[in-house]
Structure 1
Amino acid sequence: MLLFCSVCGTSLSVEEGSASLEFKCQGCGYTLPISKPVTSRVYPRLKDLDEVLGGPSAWENAQVTEERCPRCSHNKAYFMQLQTRSADEPMTIFYRCQNSKCAHRWKE
C-alpha cells in the first residue's frame, strides 16, 4: 500500500516516531501515526492459456496429429510448438482436442 502526503503529495515512508511507527513525508515533514496493522494484498489476474499462446486465432493454423485426447479419447488433436523456456531447452508442445465438444487443452 502506498500512501501520499495530504499536504505536498510526496509518498510517505515508514519511520520510527516518538512512541511508535508513523508515516512521514520526506518533503514537508508531515507525520501520520500508525494506529493499527497496515496490510495490503494484490492478486494479479492470471492470463488465460489462449492469451499466452497468441489468442484464439493461433489455433487456426495449427497442424493436426494423431494424438489421443486424455479427456474424451478422441484420436486427433491440433498441436503447436512454442519455445517457452531458454533456447537450450526443448520446445513445449501444446495440444487441443479436435473434437469441438471437448476442445480440451494439454501440453507436453
Structure 2
Amino acid sequence: MEFIRSNAPSFQSDVNFCPRCGAILPTLGHTGGLVCVVCKFEADIETMEELEVKYVIEFNTKSDYIQEQQLKSAQSKTDGPLVERKCPRCGNETMSYASLQLRSADEGQTIFYTCTKCQFKETENS
C-alpha cells in the first residue's frame, strides 16, 4: 500500500496549527516559510498571515453559577456516587456509596452506604 503525500490542507484550522495534521506550527519569525515538524506540510508565511482567526468567549450567567454551586453543595453532602437503595432509618430511596478493600486481597470489599437525606451510614461486606 502506498500513501500519497499532498500539500493540500485536510481541514480548516487555526493559523497556529498545521491544516493537514493539526500539529502546532513552530514560530520562525517573518522570514521564509513554515514547515510542520510532524507531516512536513509547507506553507508560505505570507499566506498564513492573511488568515483571520476569530474567537468567541461565552461567559456563564449568574443563574448558571448559582445552579452549579447548589449542585456542588448537594454533592458535597454525599460520600460518593448515588445508588437506588432504601435507607433503613428514613425510607429515602437514594444512598451514596464508597467501597474499600479492608480485608485480605482474596476476600470481597466493604461497601459503605450513606443516606442522602438523613446521613445514616451502613456497611455491607461483599
**TM-score band (shorter)?**
0.3 to 0.5
Question: Counting strand residues as a fraction of each chain, which structure ranks higher?
Answer: 1
TM-score (norm 1): 0.42
TM-score (norm 2): 0.36
Question: Counting helix residues as a fraction of each chain, which structure ranks higher?
Answer: 2
